[in-house]
Amino acid sequence: MPVPKAELHLHIEGTLEPELAFALAARNGVTLPYADTDELRGAYRFSDLQSFLDLYYGLMAVLRTAEDFTALADAYLERAAAQGVRHAEIFFDPQAHTARGVPIGVVIEGLSASLERSEERYGISTRLIMCFLRDESAESALATLDAAKPYLDRITGVGLDSAEVGHPPAKFREVYEAAGALGLRKVAHAGEEGPAAYIREALDVLGVERVDHGLRCMEDADLVDRLVRERVPLTLCPLSNVRLRTIDTLADHPLRAMMTAGLLVTVNSDDPAYFGGYVGDNFDAVRETLGLEPEHLRELARNSFLASFLEDDEERRARYLAEVEAYVFGGGPA
């Protein structure tokens, strides 16, 4: 069994595998602009974040009913369990569904039906994080938070995703303030394609507790010092960075340098159906390509639980951390 780990950067819509997409398309009478799963997979060649997002949002057309969202989450959890995931904090993009006429309640009820039985079925505890699309307006984000109010018992936090450049964090100051007042935790994508300044802004203006990606902090030594000092976790997604051409090759990934600098980094899959692997595959890829030793992998697994929003269940966090310390690395998948 792979090392126990938490996954903290995972878009549930990004787990939609071609086979499930075609099955849901048939069930819902949706025609996809691809002949079959091979042709769809063949379209997974991205030049940047936007080229991926165009396909990602397009394929969501097959997600229509609560049962579709339940099936999507079940499929993810089953794969995640096989890769050692014990806790998952899962993003979803309500605006990508409400814009197509799928009510937010359908999305949340559908996902919840899967997450509620996740522990019993897959041995995975879960949290849900609702993301705002940063290329939509601040008003739309506020309306989304308002629409989510009947479901706040299912939502742990808010996040910010989609096209980064030109949509700085400060655009969402008001909705993050409102989310904080409702007791929601705060994260945001920053420094994926956007500059290190967006990471500072996410911390200073939005008050985020964790930064998604944060890769480009490495261009700003003072910012690195601050992230180390304040123990701000970064949720890295190595295979995503290669597929979206944020870095040229995996060998160029700064993960090792970030660990050496003392940053609290975690490894995650982002959109595993599109980027060539789930979280364990990301662990294996960085182990192989960056020459990580077992103690590096243990640190990454430990960090994943330290960075998770388990403050409401410290007993569970302690149990997971003990599993990490007791784990013996062999030759198998990490």
**Shortest Cβ 253–Zn ion spacing (Å):** 16
* Residue 164 or 201 having the CB closest to Zn ion: 164
Which parts of this chain interact with ligand ADE (CB under 6 A)?
Answer: 11, 14, 49, 161-162, 189, 192, 240, 270-271
CA distances from 13 to 56, 143, 253 (A): 8, 21, 25
Does 193 contact Zn ion by CB under 5 A?
Answer: no
200-238 in b/e burial notation, b at 16+ Cβ within 10 A?
Answer: bbbbebbebbbbbbbbbbbebeebbeebeeeebbbbbbb
* Residue 155 or 324 having the CB closest to ligand ADE: 155
**Shortest Cβ 189–ligand ADE spacing (Å):** 5
Does 17 contact Zn ion by CB under 5 A?
Answer: no
From CA 260, how far away is CA 288, in angstroms rounded? 18
- 60 binding partner (options ligand ADE, Zn ion, none; Cβ < 5 to 8 Å by kind): none
From CA 160, how far away is CA 131, in angstroms rounded? 5
Using CB atoms, what's the residue nearest to Zn ion? Answer: 270
Does 270 contact Zn ion by CB under 5 A?
Answer: yes
**Shortest Cβ 291–ligand ADE spacing (Å):** 26
Residues 295/256, Cβ–Cβ less than 8 Å: no
**Angle between helical axes of 294-306 and 279-290 (0-180°, round to 10):** 140
Range list of H helices, the chain: 18-28, 37-42, 49-59, 66-82, 94-98, 104-115, 118-122, 138-147, 173-181, 196-204, 221-229, 238-243, 255-260, 272-275, 279-290, 294-306, 314-326
Residue 192 annotated among the catalytic residues of the structure:
yes
* Residue 14 or 84 having the CB closest to ligand ADE: 14
**Shortest Cβ 240–ligand ADE spacing (Å):** 5
The reply to whether 153 sits in an annotated binding site is no
- Pairing verdict, β 185-190 and 210-213: parallel
The reply to whether 9 sits in an annotated binding site is yes
* Residue 167 or 256 having the CB closest to ligand ADE: 167
- 243 binding partner (options Zn ion, ligand ADE, none; Cβ < 5 to 8 Å by kind): none
Catalytic site residue from 136, 192, 193, 299: 192
The reply to whether 270 sits in an annotated binding site is yes
> Which segments are annotated as binding site?
9, 11, 189, 270-271
Query: Which residues does the annotation mark as catalytic?
Result: 192
